[in-house]
Amino acid sequence: MLAMALSTAPAHAEDGYELWLRYHPLATEQASLYRSRASQLIAGSATPTQTVTRKELLSGLNGLLGREPTSSDTVTSDGAILVGTPSSSPLIASLRLDTKDLGKEGYLIRSVTVDGHTATAIVGNEDVGALYGAFHFLRLVQTERSIDRLDVRESPHIKLRVLNHWDNLNGEVERGYAGASIWDWWKLPDWRDPRYTDYARANASIGINGTVLNNVNAGAEILTPRYLEKVKALAEVFRPYGIRVYISVRFSAPMEIGGLKTADPLDPNVQHWWRSKADEIYKIIPDFGGFLVKANSEGQPGPQDYGRTHADGANMLADALAPHGGVVMWRTFVYSQTNADDRAKQAYTEFKPLDGHFRDNVLLQVKNGPVDFQPREPYGPLFGAMPKTPLMMEFQITKEYLGFATHLVYLGPLYEEVLSSDTMAHGQGSTVAKVIDGSLGHHTLSGIAGVANIGANRNWSGSDFNQANWYVFGRLAWNPTLASRTIAEQWVRMTFTNNEAFVKPVVEMMMGSREAAVDYMTPLGLHHIMGPGHHYGPAPWDASEARADWRPVYYHRADRNGIGFDRTRAGSDAVDQYAPPIAAQFNDVKQTPEQLLLWFHHVPWDYRMRSGHTLWYELVAHYTQGVDDVKHMQETWRGMDGYIDAERYQQVAAYLAIQEKEAQWWRDACIAYFQSVSGLPLPSGFAPPQHDLKYYESLTFKNVPGYSSW
């Protein structure tokens, strides 16, 4: 068995650079089958997008099938592939395919007959649609799906599908675990690293159509002419792939680089400064996307510094961009240390009253949960609460709170859980997905952002499995109703192998991995109990942070009597930020899903769980389960030896060993701490922590990735 598996493993070294666009030869039987259905390629090259589409198909099919289709203008045999738009190709126009509903970015893939020959037509209304269709077609071949009777129609559910890079201009990446920034700002614009093209290919292959190049904690320099030239160079590389560039702007830029005394959004000089800045940008980057803004949040400047509202600030920038078709993505991640109210409530409190006050080209970008990208949070209460404003989703792809680069945690189930949550805001079925795709509020503008996990590491994302999180983000951005399991399966096939003996157990392992992390880090609704600042490892005891709302003890509220944050009507009343049926559910301890119990309730240690056990027992059981799950993942992976290349196999194995060690650390440290607070004995059958609490408390870390520059 093992010997057989070994014989199909690729012969050369793999470093993960190719991502899921790994066009390695299919097994011989499959290859010859596909070759007969991909014998000719009829594709234009009149525009840059057509050229890259054609190139991708040629290199992809050549790699997968061991032979390039012949290029031609007419169909001369069975198995031709026709790619393009009705307006650019008379041949495609003559097929009279119905492209009406596809929009600008949609495509169809249809098996057709041309001059008596079977063929496959990949058609968009615009070049970029055909490009997306080409990637879809390649995926079918890569994953060994039938391409005989195709009738695919696809168009994106969400308009702006954007990566957010938290990259600083000095090359550091905030919360980045995959090395330095891939943007070599110093050598731009003259040196355009070929990697930028591969970045664009990867994004286009999953439908991402925008990228915010710099950190939300932005400096003003990126708005200077010197840097705008660099931004322009990147925009030029990305343009053929349908990707627009955006930048994060610092609200006080008019003071820092414009010489003004104020950044007050109602000051005419400030307004004028931003208008001319926008004009300057669009002169050199005509398809520039717009601005992303973090304002009055964690010390960043903003309109409130001048007694103005978020709407005043966003609208001022929106007015500057509007003549050029640009948008403002204004973040709702705000909370203040001078506000004694529950941090989880503050975004809603500040933004909900502003519904209806924003210009048409403003989107509010809302983190998926009310606090901060924790392993599990309920969906943010703003979703569904601002029907007059397009709300964007902000997911984190980089795993700031989920084990950095080394923990194997597939985020698909987390994204899916949030997107499919029913807000009940406009009756049953008002899912978060329908809020952000604009359908619930009848918005034409819609968006979704993912904080990128991309860096200069050869494998882009810090680990092979982290690539799956970039991938699943893109696919769900295109269609937020897709199942994360289906996406995982496709990713595994494209990234590793189609061998079922590998695909099935690995998909299973990925699907369980997020729950494992929740269990060994923050089970039953616990949150924000990680190490201070750098966010590495457990520190539920920590009260060292300057701000109360950065301290773990603020969030878990454990004492001798119980544990959890009371967000019911008797507590902070965060529950009432949700639509009434959901609020009623979360307000009632018995109706609250146990996975969110301690998010919404402070309960005694001997609280009876649905299992019949006490909360204390269940807490210990979940922590233990998390570690066991990681051991199980290791076991699964050991069984995969020989199915894939040794390089990636071994790195995953080594990372899983790190994950096991750290999962154990999380479990033991948290149990030791909570036990010290509850004073309860460890339930029988569970191993005691490996060290005493003092040991865990004594661990400190310096030079943690993603944080060192602060």
Residues at the interface with ligand BDP (CB under 6 A): 174-175, 216-217, 294, 298, 333, 372-373, 400
Catalytic residue among 127, 400, 519, 542: 400
Long-range contacts of 608-617 (CB under 8 A, 24+ apart): 615/524, 615/562, 615/563, 616/674, 616/678, 616/680, 616/683, 617/683
> What is the C-alpha separation between 267 and 491, in angstroms, rounded?
51
- Extract the tokens encoding 300: 């960043």
Given the complex with ligand BDP, which of 176 and 289 has the nearer CB atom? Answer: 176
> What is the C-alpha separation between 638 and 306, in angstroms, rounded?
60
Given the complex with ligand BDP, which of 281 and 409 has the nearer CB atom? Answer: 409
Least distance in angstroms from the C-beta of 298 to ligand BDP:
6
Least distance in angstroms from the C-beta of 534 to ligand BDP:
9
Least distance in angstroms from the C-beta of 235 to ligand BDP:
24
Least distance in angstroms from the C-beta of 294 to ligand BDP:
5
The answer to whether the beta carbons of residues 192 and 235 sit under 8 Å apart is: no
Least distance in angstroms from the C-beta of 550 to ligand BDP:
9
Given the complex with ligand BDP, which of 137 and 536 has the nearer CB atom? Answer: 536
The answer to whether the beta carbons of residues 518 and 527 sit under 8 Å apart is: no
Q: Specify the DSSP class assigned to residue 304.
A: G
Given the complex with ligand BDP, which of 14 and 400 has the nearer CB atom? Answer: 400
> What is the C-alpha separation between 38 and 33, in angstroms, rounded?
9
Least distance in angstroms from the C-beta of 710 to ligand BDP:
8
Given the complex with ligand BDP, which of 335 and 520 has the nearer CB atom? Answer: 335
Peptide bond into 189 cis (omega under 30): yes
Catalytic residue among 229, 298, 355, 697: 298
Residue with structure tokens 């983190």? 367
Catalytic residue among 172, 174, 312, 372: 372
Given the complex with ligand BDP, which of 57 and 411 has the nearer CB atom? Answer: 411
Q: 3-class SS at 49?
A: helix
Least distance in angstroms from the C-beta of 72 to ligand BDP:
51
Which residues lie below 8 Å from residue 86, measured CB to CB, with a gap of 6+? Answer: 92, 93, 97, 99, 123, 125
Verify whether residue 298 is a known catalytic residue. Answer: yes
Least distance in angstroms from the C-beta of 270 to ligand BDP:
23
Least distance in angstroms from the C-beta of 432 to ligand BDP:
19
Least distance in angstroms from the C-beta of 333 to ligand BDP:
5
Which residues lie below 8 Å from residue 98, measured CB to CB, with a gap of 6+? Answer: none
The answer to whether the beta carbons of residues 359 and 389 sit under 8 Å apart is: no
Q: What is the 3-state secondary structure (H, E, C) of 648-665?
A: HHHHHHHHHHHHHHHHHH
The answer to whether the beta carbons of residues 533 and 542 sit under 8 Å apart is: no
Which residues lie below 8 Å from residue 510, measured CB to CB, with a gap of 6+? Answer: 408, 410, 412, 465, 468, 488, 492
User: How open is the CA angle 108-109-115, to the nearest 5 degrees?
Assistant: 115
Q: Which residues pair with 362 in a beta bridge?
A: 328
DSSP line for 29-63 = HHHHHHHHHSSEEEE--SSHHHHHHHHHHHHHHHH
Verify whether residue 68 is a known catalytic residue. Answer: no
Q: Specify the DSSP class assigned to residue 183.
A: -
CA-nearest of 164, 169, 179, 143 to 210 is 164
- Extract the tokens encoding 90: 């008379």
Element (DSSP H or E) covering residue 198:
helix 194-205
Given the complex with ligand BDP, which of 136 and 343 has the nearer CB atom? Answer: 343
Given the complex with ligand BDP, which of 373 and 565 has the nearer CB atom? Answer: 373
Q: Which residues pair with 427 in a beta bridge?
A: 425
Q: How many CB atoms lie within 10 A of CB 326?
A: 21
Given the complex with ligand BDP, which of 26 and 216 has the nearer CB atom? Answer: 216
Ramachandran area for residue 556 (φ above 0: left; ψ -120 to 50: alpha; else beta): alpha
Q: 3-class SS at 238?
A: helix
Least distance in angstroms from the C-beta of 179 to ligand BDP:
17
Which residues lie below 8 Å from residue 58, measured CB to CB, with a gap of 6+? Answer: 41, 68, 69, 71
Provide φ and ψ at 681, rounded to 5°. Answer: -70, 155
- Position closest to ligand BDP via CB: 372
Given the complex with ligand BDP, which of 172 and 515 has the nearer CB atom? Answer: 172
The alpha carbon dihedral of 400, 406, 407, 413 has a sign of positive
Given the complex with ligand BDP, which of 248 and 634 has the nearer CB atom? Answer: 248
Given the complex with ligand BDP, which of 400 and 417 has the nearer CB atom? Answer: 400
Residue with structure tokens 């409530």? 345
CA-nearest of 637, 629, 638, 699 to 664 is 629
Residue 550's alpha-carbon distances to 295, 383, 432, 532, in angstroms, are 19, 24, 27, 8
Least distance in angstroms from the C-beta of 249 to ligand BDP:
14
The number of residues in the chain equals 710
Provide the annotated active-site residues.
Answer: 298, 372, 400
